[in-house]
Chain A
Amino acid sequence: MALPLALPSWHLIVQAIISGLLIGCIYALIALGLALIWGVMEVVNFAHGEFLMIAGYLACFLFALYGIDPVLSAFLGFVVAGLIGLAVQKGIIEKVLGSPPIVTILVTFSILLILRYGALAAFGPEVTTTHPWYGVKSIYLGSIAIPLVGLIYAGASLAATGALYVFLTKTYTGIALRATAQNRIAAQLQGVDVKKMYTLAFAIGTALTGFAGGLLASFYYIYPEVGARFCALSFVIVVLGGFGSLPGAFIGGLIIGVAEEVAAVFIPPVMKDVVAFIIFILILLFKPTGLFGGRAS
């Protein structure tokens, strides 16, 4: 039953671009963590979305118990997810580094299952969320709404990205981390402790996702499988941006966010999920190194 098709008004498109940029900041943050881990360690972290879920739960519990704002909880989510990431890296992944790629894939996949179904056993399948005061407020420019919660989580995401940028370009450790990503043997010859860099990359990567998880709780809902969709999207974004490229991951996140929202204005929204994956296939076909990826594998 097709409705009379009219060209969508420019309001709708502007609204979609704004919504897309805001949600894109969350995608970007999750993808940054994934890209960092891949760039430095060449490990595909399938359990990435589960760190998002854990931090999301943390924010929901803190909100329910003490009324703590989820954006504040995001900082704690950063620490907690980072510590769990550290433990996973030291306890498990470090032991299998250097094994064939399939081994690390299976290991991170097992961690995914343990964390996801552990959460299901511990918290049950019920859905939970938070209600910050700014959750229902918007700034209106005519009929276009700029949600306050969106500005806050996008701002927090940009701040985290900025902090990561400063860390990677201005500190010795950050530069060593980038050196390891570029060429681990050369870095090792320069006296960089590559093993330590791996641990750091994994911890920072999961911590960034944890930060995103706290932000997610401010506008989305949390349940044991919430990581799945965001993790799948972040894989698309990382490929789009060039596997391992951090600026690529960030820009890629914004592109996917905007592409999905704008597409949903023109096509039935039920198809919008497909858009990201069509972009994924096209990138693989026509620019397998991604938008920003120059590195030959």
Chain B
Amino acid sequence: MSLKARVPIIVAFIVGLVVGVGVGYGIFLATMPKPGVPTVKIGVILPFTGPLAETAKDMKRGIEFAVDEINAAGGIKSLGGAKIEILWGDSEADPSVGYAEAIRLIGEGVVAIVGAYQSSVTKTVSEACERYKVPCINPDSTSPLLTMRGFDWFFRTTAHDDPFAKQHFEFLEWLKAERGVEIKTFATICEDTEWGMGCRDVWRKYGAEYGYTPVEDITYHRGAASLDAEVSRLKAANPDVVFIAAYVTDAILFQKTIYKLGFKPKAIIAMDAGYIVPSYVEEVKEKGYWVFSREVFNWDLFEVVPALKAKNDAYKAKYGVDFNGNSARDYVAIHVLALALEEAGKKVKPWEDLEGFRRALRDALAAIDIGPDEWAKLDWAIMPWDGIKFGATTEGEKGQNVRAKGIIVQMFDDGKYYTVWPREIATKEPVFPMP
């Protein structure tokens, strides 16, 4: 191509560049906070684009709902009623992008960062926060490793896979006592990923602690053409309880295969994932009945907790959807953060000493101590937890909310999951052993 022929392309490129920069600058000016109105800036990093976009959209609603509530109630009072302003960051479901977004938001002067759903992204985002000494609040990642790093600036409000596994065994102990049924042995069948292997390890750890005997340990590769051999081995081992960590495709095949090969343990307990995906719930039909799964939230809680029903009605009126485990956890985390902002504001003002404020905020988060009684009275405390208290030592899981809990749900013969554990909030008696 001659230089002459290239001229139009170059011209078009330059014009495009000029227009693009102009529009970008315009947007920048328009979205810049007006001077004189002090706000407290919080960064939120979620996978807004990519395969988890739908989930991120949901969590964004929970965050916005909490921010609107706090601002409508007069903002952060110790900071003269300053409003909370959210700066959004898109992780694109990629740990390295998440890290870059965290650095960008920290540079823009956020007092804290909230995010980032996927454990792998939360890991890098929290590393950036730790390095630049910015509080990182994680409402929604469940890898146990995150709070085993001894980070000073990391606070996780949700429970994770380790306590979930512990809860499974507490539930079994209760079933044993309540129903007088022997439960001695268990088997695990897990996907061969970091998550699946992590689940297997925590089940085996608590199995040993509670005195159950592991009789089979199956790992399989996602998307197997057949699970016949796996299920035959389980059947031959004849465990009382089977624990499974599977994504949706394998979960459906596993449930079909146990019926096909006539394998019926006393209970099947799943670590959510595939077992709570809507397409699983829709497709598994009667082959999924009576399976237990851990959850963080379930639709029937609305019926047991009146405050939750009222909150959900307001939420639904605004967004047209119900709260779920993701949006509810993110909603609660913003309120927890607001509590700490209120305390930190009594000591330092972020516009006077940003670094000092971040430090004060970190200390305020670490000092939060909400017990079960106070938790029950809080208007925004919609998660079925015992309260908020972050672990202070690495052994006690530094930064982990030790009062967070999961719930156990069971699919009944109407194809819906009902809460069966903890008993205080259960809506149904668990059906055990599997009929």
Residues of A participating in the B interface, judged by any CB pair closer than 8 Å: 1, 3, 8-9, 11-12, 15-16, 19-20, 23, 126-129, 131, 135-136, 138, 140, 143, 145, 147, 149-150, 219-221, 223, 229-230, 233, 260-265, 268-270, 272-273
B260 near A138 (CB under 8 angstroms)? yes
* Nearest 9 pairs of A and B residues by beta carbon: A264-B229, A19-B228, A136-B259, A126-B279, A147-B260, A270-B219, A145-B261, A145-B262, A269-B230
CA A16 to CA B232, docked complex, whole Å: 8
B residues 235-264 touching A (CB-CB < 8 Å) = 235-236, 248-249, 252-253, 256, 259-262
Contacts of B416 in A (CB 8 A): none
Complex partner residue of B279 from A127, A147, A262, CB under 8 angstroms: A127
CA A16 to CA B256, docked complex, whole Å: 17
A12 near B232 (CB under 8 angstroms)? yes
CB distance from B275 to the nearest CB of A (A): 13
Q: Are A127 and B229 CB-contacts (below 8 A) given A147-B261, A229-B223, A273-B221?
A: no
9 contacts between A and B (CB under 8 A): A12-B236, A16-B232, A19-B228, A136-B286, A140-B262, A143-B235, A219-B256, A260-B226, A270-B219
CA A270 to CA B192, docked complex, whole Å: 7
CA A269 to CA B236, docked complex, whole Å: 14
CA A251 to CA B20, docked complex, whole Å: 63
Contacts of B236 in A (CB 8 A): 8-9, 11-12
CA A229 to CA B287, docked complex, whole Å: 24
Question: Quick check: is B225 within 8 A (CB to CB) of the other chain?
Answer: yes
* B263 and chain A: residue at smallest CB distance: A145
B279 near A269 (CB under 8 angstroms)? no
B252 near A150 (CB under 8 angstroms)? no
Q: Are A149 and B232 CB-contacts (below 8 A) given A128-B279, A223-B249, A270-B192?
A: no
Question: Quick check: is B346 within 8 A (CB to CB) of the other chain?
Answer: no
Contacts of A219 in B (CB 8 A): 256, 260
Question: Quick check: is B212 within 8 A (CB to CB) of the other chain?
Answer: no
Q: Are A149 and B262 CB-contacts (below 8 A) given A223-B249, A230-B225, A261-B228?
A: no
A270 near B220 (CB under 8 angstroms)? yes
Complex partner residue of A221 from B204, B283, B285, CB under 8 angstroms: B283
CA A219 to CA B229, docked complex, whole Å: 15
* A223 and chain B: residue at smallest CB distance: B249
A233 near B261 (CB under 8 angstroms)? no
B residues 339-380 touching A (CB-CB < 8 Å) = none
CB distance from A240 to the nearest CB of B (A): 16
B232 near A127 (CB under 8 angstroms)? no
Contact with A along B201-242 (1 / 0, CB 8 A): 000100000000011111111011110111011011000000
Tell me if A's interface is mostly helix, strand, loop or mixed.
helix
Complex partner residue of B226 from A23, A143, A145, A262, CB under 8 angstroms: A23
B residues 262-285 touching A (CB-CB < 8 Å) = 262, 278-280, 283, 285
* A26 and chain B: residue at smallest CB distance: B225
Q: Number of residues in B with C-beta < 8 Å to the partner?
A: 37
In addition to A15-B232, A268-B219, A269-B220, 17 A-B residue pairs with Cβ atoms within 8 Å of each other are A1-B204, A16-B232, A19-B232, A131-B285, A136-B256, A136-B287, A138-B262, A147-B260, A147-B261, A150-B260, A219-B260, A230-B225, A233-B225, A264-B230, A268-B218, A269-B229, A270-B192
Contacts of B224 in A (CB 8 A): 269, 272-273
* B232 and chain A: residue at smallest CB distance: A15
B226 near A135 (CB under 8 angstroms)? no
CB distance from A172 to the nearest CB of B (A): 38
CA A221 to CA B251, docked complex, whole Å: 10
Contacts of A262 in B (CB 8 A): 229
CB distance from B48 to the nearest CB of A (A): 18
CA A262 to CA B261, docked complex, whole Å: 16
Best-buried of A12, A16, A143, A270 by chain B (most CB within 10 Å): A270
CB distance from A14 to the nearest CB of B (A): 10
Complex partner residue of B260 from A1, A135, A264, A273, CB under 8 angstroms: A135
Complex partner residue of B217 from A3, A16, A140, A149, CB under 8 angstroms: A3
CB distance from B313 to the nearest CB of A (A): 29
CA A183 to CA B135, docked complex, whole Å: 75
CA A263 to CA B228, docked complex, whole Å: 12
Contacts of A233 in B (CB 8 A): 225
* A274 and chain B: residue at smallest CB distance: B221
CB distance from B256 to the nearest CB of A (A): 6
